[in-house]
Structure 1
Amino acid sequence: MFFCISLAPTMPIKIEGLKAFSFKETVSATRSFSSSAQVGRGGYGNVYKGILDDKTVVAIKRAQEGSLQGQKEFFTEIELLSRLHH
């Protein structure tokens, strides 16, 4: 399982060593962040199960609007999760 993050359509993110996905791709993978795709909730927002076009299953952590006062902490959490996976 891969990890993706989704902030907003206009907020690009780059973390070294992680594949970037567009907001459009994350919306498609989660069926528009459907509640049926939600698998958890964290301090910065919800986590969704997504399926990419190539059928790869991913976990998508979506930052909740207004919660980005801890943006650095959110990015750090994503980096740590991706390192644990690999």
Structure 2
Amino acid sequence: MAILYTAPSETVTYALLVDDQQGLVSQVYCLQTSALQQQSQIVLPDMMALHTKQTQLVANLNYWLWPIDQRSNQFPSETKTHHQKA
């Protein structure tokens, strides 16, 4: 199950999608309110905290950086066959 990290600002809410089971992390993006689903969310203080989380996952835990479909707020179907190398 993917976890959505969010960082609200005065004008937009930034987001980062993380799938721990497949070792995937998304780009930091502007969250569209219509994309919100019943999904686990963790609120971080600002956009820099999202970038820090993303960097930690990629550099320290070898997560793969995959772009997401911002309208559906999901990783593409190609990631279903992705296997994280140990």
Query: Same fold by TM-score, threshold 0.5 exceeded?
Result: no
TM-score by length of structure 1 reads 0.32
TM-score normalized by the length of structure 2? 0.32
Q: Which has the higher helix share?
A: 1
